[in-house]
Amino acid sequence: MTPVTEAVTPSASTTLDSLTPLLRAWLPRQRWFAGKGRPVTGFTPVAVTQLLPRGGRLDLFHVLLRVHQPPESAHPGDCYQLLIGAREALPPRLAPALIGHVTRGPLAGRTVYDALYDRRPAEVLLEALRTRARVGGLRFERDPRQEIRPHLVARMLAAEQSNSSVVYGDTFILKLFRRVVPGVNPDLELPQALAREGCPRVPAPTAWLRAELAEQPYVLAVLQPFVSGAADGWELALRELAKGEDFTAEARALGRATAEVHTALARALPTVTLGRAQLGPMVDGMTERLTAAVQAVPALGPYERGLRSAYTALAELAAGGRTWTAQRIHGDLHLGQCLRAPSGDWSLIDFEGEPARPPAERRLPQPTVRDIAGMLRSFDYAACSVSSAPARWAHDCRAAYCSGYAEVSGRDPRTDPVLLRAFETDKAVYEVVYEARHRPDWLPVPLSAIRRLAVSDPH
């Protein structure tokens, strides 16, 4: 394994300049690119770190890149993390990772590509974490109580999601965050807190990559144990649905696992009471998201009034003196975030929160019902995407999930229908925007829930 070299060079920045036209075409096509639909008007390199000595068969750059998109006044531009490799030519197996052929600058004549798809560069990252390397502004750190064996073989996970993940020898998985923001990253913070509590439902972080840039801290990647042979809840649900099989036992186990995680988070981190004063801004947030969603997706228009009633009903309860407890939660819980190991045990992953929400908001204490609403929506999603789904499948799973949750926590979410409807509505509105932006073919799925939520009266 080639050791990571100690270098952050101004010339690396010049190198990046010559890639600008290629990146301008490549970036917006990536699943994780959050600024879809708006033109890219320019780039500013935030940090360019050379990870291997220049001039070898492979050049390797760790890049943080600010992407400018209109309206500039409203937003300084998102910052993305890239691992860029440059070779004389790409072997066919790396064709999907192609960024383009460079025609000018220090890399002229070379082919640049997304190096996370390539074994050797991915292994350079693991080696750096194993040896706790420091390269320029990058800090590769590891939990001193956890060992990383050398020479684990890397493979990129095929499923492209909000971020990119690499598996090492079926032992670890490294998630490299694509859109990065300064500050505490809940995807490291919460699993670490849960590990301290001894909660076995979440893989404990083994190592992580930090950076200190312009006096701001960033968490750029997290390595955690890989749950080998696991299936995620979404795959399992679809498989059982296709066979016409019952899924309520798993739904109940998922409810129990969610409650275990919530209970441990409430022990590990502060909880607060939400009364009228705190609930007001929360309901305002829901209302604002609805208004923005209606503008972005006009198909929501006819349901706006009905959906709004879910939020006003909640505000009325608060005005009448009701209070709720809020705590740190998962923030984007759905079946795809739940892994079932071959032993049958469930783990929850991906504590980053909803990728579209502002980072500070994602770390606010919330009613646990928000996560529960996410899972309830997910059972509905599964049923809607299989045409042969039995009519009561989603209903039965949702009931079993709530029962499992109540068994562990002592609180059945169905006893607070107004709160549940408000959070389910907020989630469905989020999903409408998410699908319109990323997977327009899926739009009918959350829209069918919107129709139900716009008319349902929980009383």
Ligand X SMILES: O=P(O)(O)O[C@H]1O[C@H](CO)[C@@H](O[C@H]2O[C@H](CO)[C@@H](O)[C@H](O)[C@H]2O)[C@H](O)[C@H]1O
Ligand Y SMILES: Nc1ncnc2c1ncn2[C@@H]1O[C@H](COP(=O)(O)OP(=O)(O)O)[C@@H](O)[C@H]1O
Q: Shortest Cβ distance from residue 141 to ligand Y (Å)?
A: 18
260 scored as a contact of ligand X (CB under 6 A): no
Give me Rg for the CA atoms of the chain: 23
Q: Which 162-181 residues touch ligand Y, going by CB under 6 A? A: 162-163, 165, 173, 175
Q: Which does 354 bind (CB under 5 to 8 A by kind): ligand X, ligand Y, none?
A: ligand X
User: Exposure of 394 by Cβ count < 10 A (0-12 exposed, 13-18 middle, 19+ buried)?
Assistant: buried
409's CB contacts (< 8 A; 6+ apart) are 259, 262, 263, 368
Q: Which does 431 bind (CB under 5 to 8 A by kind): ligand Y, ligand X, none?
A: ligand X
Distance CA 361, CA 174 (A): 25
Number of residues that bind ligand Y (CB under 6 A): 20
132: left (phi over 0), alpha (psi -120 to 50) or beta: left
203 scored as a contact of ligand X (CB under 6 A): no
Q: Shortest Cβ distance from residue 55 to ligand X (Å)?
A: 38
Q: Shortest Cβ distance from residue 32 to ligand Y (Å)?
A: 7
50 scored as a contact of ligand Y (CB under 6 A): no
Q: Write the interaction track for ligand Y spanning residues 185-214; mark x where CB under 6 A is met and - where it is not.
A: ------------------x-----------
Residue from 207, 231, 244, 209 nearest 392 by CA: 244
Number of residues that bind ligand X (CB under 6 A): 15
350 scored as a contact of ligand X (CB under 6 A): yes
For residues 199 and 383, which CB has a smaller minimum distance to ligand X in the complex?
A: 383
**138-142 and 207-213 beta bridge pairing:** antiparallel
Q: What is the DSSP string of 251-302?
A: HHHHHHHHHHHHHHHHHHS--EEE-HHHHHHHHHHHHHHHHHHHHH-GGGGG
- Residues 15, 69, 81, 224: which binds ligand Y (CB under 6 A)? 224
End-to-end C-alpha distance for the chain, whole angstroms: 64
For residues 43 and 434, which CB has a smaller minimum distance to ligand X in the complex?
A: 434
Q: Which does 434 bind (CB under 5 to 8 A by kind): ligand Y, ligand X, none?
A: ligand X
- Residues 7, 97, 157, 204: which binds ligand Y (CB under 6 A)? 157
Q: Which 326-345 residues touch ligand X, going by CB under 6 A? A: 332, 334-336
Q: Which 144-173 residues touch ligand X, going by CB under 6 A? A: 161-162
For residues 204 and 443, which CB has a smaller minimum distance to ligand X in the complex?
A: 443
Q: Shortest Cβ distance from residue 31 to ligand Y (Å)?
A: 9
Distance CA 164, CA 155 (A): 11
Q: What is the DSSP string of 378-395?
A: HHHHHHHT-TT--TTHHH
Distance CA 145, CA 142 (A): 8
Q: What is the DSSP string of 34-90?
A: TTTTS---EEEEEEEEE-S-TTSS-EEEEEEEEEE-S-GGG---EEEEEEEEEESS-
Q: Write the interaction track for ligand Y spanning residues 321-360; mark x where CB under 6 A is met and - where it is not.
A: ---------------xx-x---------xx-x--------
Q: Which does 165 bind (CB under 5 to 8 A by kind): ligand X, ligand Y, none?
A: ligand Y
The encoded tokens of residue 276 equal: 């009228």
381 scored as a contact of ligand X (CB under 6 A): yes
Q: Shortest Cβ distance from residue 173 to ligand Y (Å)?
A: 5
The encoded tokens of residue 246 equal: 């019952």
Beta bridge partners of 45: 65
**Closest residue by beta carbon to ligand X:** 378
Distance CA 172, CA 166 (A): 8
Q: Write the interaction track for ligand Y spanning residues 107-146; mark x where CB under 6 A is met and - where it is not.
A: ----------------------------------------
232's CB contacts (< 8 A; 6+ apart) are 335, 336, 337, 338, 339, 340
Question: Which residues contact ligand X by CB under 6 A?
Answer: 161-162, 234, 332, 334-336, 350, 354-355, 377-378, 381, 431, 434
Question: Which residues contact ligand Y by CB under 6 A?
Answer: 157, 159, 161-163, 165, 173, 175, 203, 224, 226-227, 230, 232, 336-337, 339, 349-350, 352
